Amino acid sequence: MFYSLIRQLLFRLSPEASHHAALRSLAIGETLGLLKLFYSTPSQPVQVMGIDFPNPVGLAAGLDKNGDYIDALAALGFGFIEIGTVTPRPQDGNPQPRLFRIPEAQAIINRMGFNNLGVDHLVEQVKKAKFDGVLGINIGKNATTPVENAAEDYVHCLEKVYEYASYVAVNISSPNTQGLRSLQTGSAFSDLLQQLKACQARLAAHHGHYVPLAVKIAPDLQDEDIEYIAEQLVEHRIDGVIATNTTIGRAGIESLSLANEAGGLSGKPLKALSNYTLARLCQALDGRIPVIGVGGIMDGVSAADKMAAGASLVQIYTGFIYNGPPLIQDAVQAIKATQ
């Protein structure tokens, strides 16, 4: 009830304005010590990728692109936080408007385009944060970097964030950077994985500790693409995979006016497609690599469905926008009830 009232106020603002207003309000609440009066981290310990998570429900990348609000978001009870996507150089992203709410479908369309202040800014923010829990850092390529040179951007970001991350997520599945999704197929995919693993090995030796790599994939894949991705992930000893990003499809919102807006669709309409991709991926991997399930989690039941499909962890984003922090507790309890 409390969050529904706050949401009504926030939804009177434009989506991007309400995004920033909500994060700033959380930061103030955390600074004043108010968040800890209302929220705590539900306990449901799980170990994935060699990392101990206090519970399996995390925040997906995209909400805190620059790492400016780590402590505030962590205070809400997430088992882990993923920040980014961050690129080597700052970039503005796509022109506004680029974020669209569809409340009647509990959905969001975004074409943000990796707007961020660059990896150096993010690293400085991580250094300032007090949070000592599980922190994922999601990395991408700059829009101006040719796709054939994309590995250079990913390696650059990995080198910058390695010592500050619990794990590093490699975003090759956003639909809002031209050519990015082509990195999921063919030799471009295997070449990228090879370079990232070589960089990871160098950094592990240099820093004296191993930081896992997880690759984030799209839901808009054919079955043969999913099988190819699974085999390449295993062959290159990638530590985890995140399924899925947003979809370019419009199933579930075809009759709504905003369906014609370009960008990735998230929220309730993504659930069926994301779950299908997740299940096929888990089937192809056969337990060889852990999967983080994300896409369409709007309540505890849909979080538990991801785990039943084979996920080891889940992440929320759009469901968090619509349902607020109570979704974290609901998701943890629903997962606990099925295990």
Q: What's the average pLDDT block by block, 10 residues per block, for the chain (339 residues)? A: 84 96 97 94 97 98 98 98 98 98 98 98 98 98 98 98 99 97 97 98 98 98 98 98 98 96 98 98 98 98 98 98 97 95
Contacts of 172 (CB under 8 A, 6+ apart): 140, 150, 180, 181, 183, 184, 189, 192, 215, 216, 217
Amino acid at 131: F
**Active site members:** 174
CA distance 197 to 180: 19
Phi/psi of residue 317, each to 5°?
A: -145, -75
Could you tell me the two tokens for 12? 């009177």
Q: CA 28, 33, 37, 39 torsion: positive or negative?
A: positive
CA distance 238 to 242: 11
The residue count for the chain = 339
* Amino acid (one-letter) located at 123: V
**In angstroms, rounded to a whole number, what is the distance separating the alpha carbons of residues 105 and 91?**
31
How far is residue 62's CA from residue 116's CA, in Å, rounded to a whole number? Answer: 10
Q: Give the other-Cβ count within 10 Å of 225's Cβ.
A: 18
Beta bridge partners of 82: 136
- CB burial class (10 A; 0-12, 13-18, 19+) of residue 191? middle
286 sits in the region (left: phi over 0; alpha: psi -120 to 50; else beta) called: left
Q: In the numeric block, which tokens belong to residue 260?
A: 């014609």
C-beta separation of 324 from 6 below 8 A: yes
CA distance 312 to 301: 15
Burial of 36 (0-12, 13-18, 19+ CB in 10 A): exposed
Give the number of domains in the chain: 1
Under 8 Å CB-to-CB from 66, ≥6 apart: which residues? 83, 86, 116, 117, 121, 122, 125
Residue 80: strand pairing partners: 58
Model pTM score: 0.98
Cβ proximity of 247 and 218 under 8 Å: yes
pLDDT of residue 1: 55
- What residues make up the domain containing 47? 2-337
Secondary structure of residue 240 in the 3-state scheme:
strand
Write the CATH number for 69. 3.20.20.70
Taking each helix axis from N to C terminus, what angle separates 186-207 and 223-235, rounded to the nearest 10 degrees?
30
